[in-house]
Structure 1
Amino acid sequence: MIHILYVVLALVALNLVAMWGLSRLRRGRARTGGMGALVAVDAVLAVLLVLEVAMALFFAQSDGFNITMSSRNWFARHWHPVNSLGYRDAEPRPKAPGEKLVLVVGDSFAAGHGIDNVADRFGDVLGRKLGAGWRVANASKIGWDTVDEDKALESYPQTPDVVVLAYFVNDIYRAAEKAKFPLPFAVRFPKGAVTGYLVDHFALANFVYWRLARMGNLEDAAKTFWDRLRAAYIDPAVWGEHARELDSIVDWCRKRHVRLIALIIPSLADVAGTAPMTARVAAYFKGKGVETVDLTPVLAGRDPGDMVVNSVDTHANVKLNAEMAGLLEKAILAPAPAASGAD
């Protein structure tokens, strides 16, 4: 808000200078016209200032990239509780006698990116559906991939009875990096000192800039990224590296007799386009004898607008989180199949 104050002070100073200049003119059309123009300009600037203050104080909207001021406002308002492990969840605690612990591990989808109330996240909804004798905890962070999720399992202070691995199709990112198969996503930040200052410090300029960017460079960058991501899944070196990452999670659960359920999430903006990727992941887990809840066939043909948080955040909305919880409830309460597949 300090930057808005600077603008107000600057406008007051400019008005004083303008008024002084107009006062030196003789009465006539020039002076009258000048006063009219000054009033009109001030009216426009006043409206912009009101909009700026309103957006800075009240406009909070998540976006998928978390690069806008409105998204930062959203996180400040909604991203809680955060426990001592850094997860958006209650503090971990030992299991009560007879209690079964479900641990949801994943990235932004599991952490609830875009979900205002943490109680509406699929893991929390699942906990209420399972009822007495069950507890669902969350070990997820934005931007995580399979390697991060594996480390989270190993370091979690309690051994769960069930692990729900929320797999999103960009979880292969680290494997692609190791295999020297770059997955670039170049975001063009504002250039120039003035533009950069306005976009970084003023909510209205920030909103306009990033909305325009989404129709230009961000859309092009996203298309390039998804094309490369599809290619990564059929690259033998990348997939081999990724399979080893997934093996580590499967082996961790198997050695501790922990039931593993893979929740496979396609791109909600393009379910059909990511179907070959989710199919390969589902085939991997099934080959290992791991239970899968593959959302691709469930969501095929649906309007993305009915599934996502908003037009600039393609994470799952509250309704879809509830649906995922229902599918997981059925999977967890069904008898666990006998372990099979290669070790």
Structure 2
Amino acid sequence: MGHLLLVVLALALANGLAMWGLSRLRGRARTGGMAALVAVDAVLAVLLVLELGMALFFAQSDGFNITMSSRNWFDRHWHPVNSLGYRDVEPRPKAGSEKLVLVVGDSFAAGHGIDRPEDRFGDVLGRELGPGWRVAHASKIGWDTVDEDQALRAYPVTPNVVVLAYFVNDIYRAAEKSHFPLPFTVRFPQSAAAKYLVDHFALANFAYWRLARVGNVEDASRGFWDRLRAAYADPVVWAAHAAELDAIVDWCRDRHIRLIALLIPSLADVAGSAPMTARVAAYCKGRGVEAVDLTPVLAGRKSADLVVNSVDTHANVGLNAEMAGLLRRAILAPAALPAGPSAPAD
């Protein structure tokens, strides 16, 4: 807001100088000048009101969290955050015969774009499972399979069921380690003036990133997804990623913890990400891991009906409720007999 105050002071000074200059004119020149100044002042006043309104009240999540409106959204909605850094209440021991479901994942599990944490699939699942069940979260934005494995091992309460919320970019670290980079380069403002405006003023920030999505963001996204599909087809990358998944599967199996994988495709292109979710589904089948694969469930449905908004392709409230229902049926069904340690990993 300090930058906006400086603009207001500068405009007030400029307006005063303009008035002084006009006072030295006579006749039509003065009248015309005053009319022009009033028109300019009216436009500037409208812009200032819009700027103030957007800066204070406009909060909208975006998938990359690069806009001021997204930062406003996080300030407003990203709570509670517990001592482990998760968007959840504090962990506590199981009470008596209570069964704990631990949702492990990235931004989809944490509820990116979901205003109220109680509308996430994990929280909805907890209510639908009913008495005797509790659902907790070990999920953070940007996590991949290695992060999720470490969080699972470090969680202070041993769960009865682990729901691994798997999104198709979870292969990212395995690709990087296999010298198969997955670049996603977004072009930020280049000139000092443009950078200053976009970084400090809500209207400029909104306009720049909306226009940028038509060009550089969409191009970067398209290139990233093409490269990501290639990563799943690369035998070296997949072997490294399968080893990451093996660590979670083996940890749960050694402790007799039921593991259910929730496979989430790209909601902006379900068909385009189908080969990736199919590979993970085949892995799960080979290792005897139960899987809830959303790809066939969402096939043919419009992206706009699934996502938070036009700039945030995380699952919306309706899809979170749907995921909760699918998981409830999976959890309450008899557990599948796990494959032995030597089962193939695709």
DSSP 3-state at the match of 1:167: strand
Q: What amino acid is the match of 2:268? A: A
> Is 1:18 aligned with 2:54?
no
Q: What amino acid is the match of 2:200? A: H
Q: What amino acid is the match of 1:5? A: L
Question: Where does residue 309 of structure 2 map in the other structure?
Answer: 310
Provide the rounded CA distance (Å) in 1 between the counterparts of 2:260 and 2:40. 62
Question: Where does residue 205 of structure 1 map in the other structure?
Answer: 204
Kept in 2: contact 1:63–1:71 (CA 8 A):
yes
Question: Where does residue 77 of structure 2 map in the other structure?
Answer: 78
Shift of 1:4: 1.1
Provide the rounded CA distance (Å) in 2 between the counterparts of 1:248 and 1:205. 46
Provide the rounded CA distance (Å) in 1 between the counterparts of 2:340 and 2:198. 53
Kept in 2: contact 1:106–1:166 (CA 8 A):
yes
Deviations 1:167-212 (A, max 9, x none): 0000000000000001000011111111111100110100000000
Shift of 1:252: 0.5
Deviations 1:129-188 (A, max 9, x none): 001000000000000000000000010001100000000000000000000001000011
Deviations 1:261-310 (A, max 9, x none): 00000000000000000000000011000000000000000001000000
DSSP 3-state at the match of 1:105: strand
Kept in 2: contact 1:150–1:248 (CA 8 A):
yes
Deviations 1:39-91 (A, max 9, x none): 11100000000000000111000000000000000000000000000000000
Q: What amino acid is the match of 2:279? A: R
Give TM-score scaled by structure 2 length.
Answer: 0.98
DSSP 3-state at the match of 2:61: coil
Shift of 1:341: 4.5
Shift of 1:94: 0.5
Provide the rounded CA distance (Å) in 2 between the counterparts of 1:32 and 1:215. 44
> Is 1:249 aligned with 2:248?
yes
Kept in 2: contact 1:60–1:74 (CA 8 A):
yes
Question: Where does residue 38 of structure 2 map in the other structure?
Answer: 39
> Is 1:169 aligned with 2:168?
yes
Question: Where does residue 229 of structure 1 map in the other structure?
Answer: 228
Q: What amino acid is the match of 1:12? A: A
Q: What amino acid is the match of 1:336? A: A
Runs of 4+ in 1 over 2 A off after TM superposition: none
Shift of 1:342: 4.1
Q: What amino acid is the match of 2:23? A: S
Provide the rounded CA distance (Å) in 2 between the counterparts of 1:6 and 1:287. 63
Give TM-score scaled by structure 1 length.
Answer: 0.99
Provide the rounded CA distance (Å) in 2 between the counterparts of 1:341 and 1:48. 66
Percentage of pairs with the same residue: 81
Provide the rounded CA distance (Å) in 1 between the counterparts of 2:5 and 2:340. 65
DSSP 3-state at the match of 1:160: coil
Question: Where does residue 123 of structure 2 map in the other structure?
Answer: 124
Q: What amino acid is the match of 1:244? A: A
Consecutive unaligned residues in structure 2, runs of 5 or more: none
DSSP 3-state at the match of 1:336: coil
- Provide the alpha-carbon RMSD of the alignment: 0.6
Kept in 2: contact 1:287–1:342 (CA 8 A):
no
Shift of 1:237: 0.8
Shift of 1:316: 0.2
Question: Where does residue 296 of structure 2 map in the other structure?
Answer: 297
Provide the rounded CA distance (Å) in 2 between the counterparts of 1:194 and 1:22. 30
DSSP 3-state at the match of 2:314: strand
Question: Where does residue 7 of structure 2 map in the other structure?
Answer: 7
Question: Where does residue 286 of structure 1 map in the other structure?
Answer: 285
Provide the rounded CA distance (Å) in 2 between the counterparts of 1:298 and 1:16. 64
Shift of 1:28: 1.6
Q: What amino acid is the match of 1:68? A: T
Q: What amino acid is the match of 1:18? A: A
Shift of 1:3: 1.1
Q: What amino acid is the match of 1:240? A: A
Kept in 2: contact 1:287–1:341 (CA 8 A):
no
Question: Where does residue 188 of structure 2 map in the other structure?
Answer: 189
